[in-house]
Amino acid sequence: MARCIAGLVMIAAGSVVGAGASASPMPDASSHAPLAVTAVTLSVPAAPIPVNAAGRITLVYELHVANGGATPLRVERLEVHADSATNSTPIAAYSAREIERNVKLLAPRGAPTPKALTPGVRAIVYVWLTFDSSATIPNAISHRVIFANGDSARGGTVRVRPATNLVLASPVDTGDWWIGLGPSNESEHRRAVIRVGEDTVPHLAQRFAIDWVKMDSRGEYARDHRGRRNADWFGYAEPVLAVADARVAAVVDSIPDNTPGENSRAVAMTVGTVLGNYVILDLGAQNGAMHRYALYGHLKPGSVGVRIGDTVSRGQVLGAIGNSGNSDGPHLHFHVTEAPDAATAPLRGEGVPFTIDTFVVTAHDPDRVAKRAMLTGLGPHRNALPVEGDVIRILPSKRP
Ligand SMILES: [Zn+2]
């Protein structure tokens, strides 16, 4: 329904999967003593930050497997280990079939879309680990990849960062909202890795992005049940609100709205137009890390009432929900990144998790219920990240 910005900027089509560390680890497969291959590089470009999502403490990150050798490789098994002890029992392990559902292959610039982990290709494996409590999260994680030819590689060791302290107010006003296209391990947002400029390593600004679509009490998103006009959508022209006290870092406000539908973009889609009209708030830096930026996309043209450099207060109206940019229907695209300068290159950053201070889960998307159980439980929640397929109610009392 809410195609949003991910569709256009994805480098290659990929599919998806969720993998839970809480599942019983598979037995160690090292008995055949595979050879280590030095031409393979494992890395985790964006260190995971624990967040409370769907009732579990969750680590969301990507393992990059770069084939620098001369022969094609096929990943047969991936093990995640606590700290750097790759000879120990893994805390999670994934089979070839699971990995195939959770990988995107990235070719060198100018090369055709790869179909396998051939020389020069980078495999991006999407990992979504869940833990019962923060006490069981390791200080660091490392990886062991076993290939179909029996070779193996170890690496991708990265420290787990402190749990997110980014507790935000809702970016939308009161009412019921469908949480779309993420966060989950298989959403369009999750797959939207992009290379900006001359960057070799792609960025994933939309790692925790949410499309907010307003619903009525019957679970409809539009008054005429088809949503052929923007004004028929319940969310259209609804205010978007500052999630925290912040400084306005960027504003775009002049891109016309689309007519709802998949093939009715009002302007050509480029890197400069996919977000539509947007506001970026600079939330400041934490603990010496880069500044964090909140991005509100697809806004209604002419609705933005703040200017670059303005200081805004939590709950302040910034603009209104629209249908501009790469969007099929009125909704708010919202995400938070850590970036050197999100104002000049909004998608050149790494998506970081956040929580919403208070919300009530009132329903679940029937499609998601059928596919998986990874949803937030019905009822009130505090300081949690809603996940794809939740329908959440924002209550009126939180506006300051
Ligand atoms: Zn989106």
What are the tens digits of pLDDT across the range 310-319? 999 999 999 9
Backbone angles phi, psi at 326, to 5 degrees: -85, 75
CA 15 vs. chain centroid, Å, equals: 14
pLDDT at 399 over 80: no
Per-residue confidence (pLDDT) for residue 330, from 0 to 100: 97
Ligand 1 centroid–CA 84 distance in Å is 36
Interval 4-11 mean pLDDT: 36
**Euclidean distance between the first and final Cα of the chain, in Å?**
32
Per-residue confidence (pLDDT) for residue 189, from 0 to 100: 96
Ligand 1 centroid–CA 89 distance in Å is 38
Interval 17-32 mean pLDDT: 34
Interval 333-354 mean pLDDT: 93
pLDDT: is 222 or 23 the higher one? 222
Ligand 1 centroid–CA 130 distance in Å is 24
Per-residue confidence (pLDDT) for residue 37, from 0 to 100: 60
Interval 255-282 mean pLDDT: 94
The CATH homologous superfamily for domain 167-398 is: Glucose Permease (Domain IIA) (2.70.70.10)
For 123-137, the pLDDT digits (tens) are 999 999 999 998 899
Confidence of residue 236 (pLDDT cuts 50, 70, 90): very high
Cβ atoms within 10 A of the Cβ of 225, count?
10
Per-residue confidence (pLDDT) for residue 165, from 0 to 100: 93
Per-residue confidence (pLDDT) for residue 187, from 0 to 100: 93
Ligand 1 centroid–CA 82 distance in Å is 33
Per-residue confidence (pLDDT) for residue 8, from 0 to 100: 33
Per-residue confidence (pLDDT) for residue 344, from 0 to 100: 87
Ligand 1 centroid–CA 6 distance in Å is 6
Domain borders along the chain are 6-159, 167-398
Q: Which pTM does this prediction carry?
A: 0.90
Ligand 1 centroid–CA 297 distance in Å is 8
Per-residue confidence (pLDDT) for residue 86, from 0 to 100: 64
Per-residue confidence (pLDDT) for residue 7, from 0 to 100: 34
Q: What percent of the chain has pLDDT over 90?
A: 75
pLDDT at 95 over 90: yes
| Tokens matching residue 112 | 């055709």
Ligand 1 centroid–CA 210 distance in Å is 6
Ligand 1 centroid–CA 169 distance in Å is 19
Query: Which class would CATH give 6-159?
Result: mainly beta
Q: What percent of the chain has pLDDT over 70?
A: 88
Per-residue confidence (pLDDT) for residue 88, from 0 to 100: 80
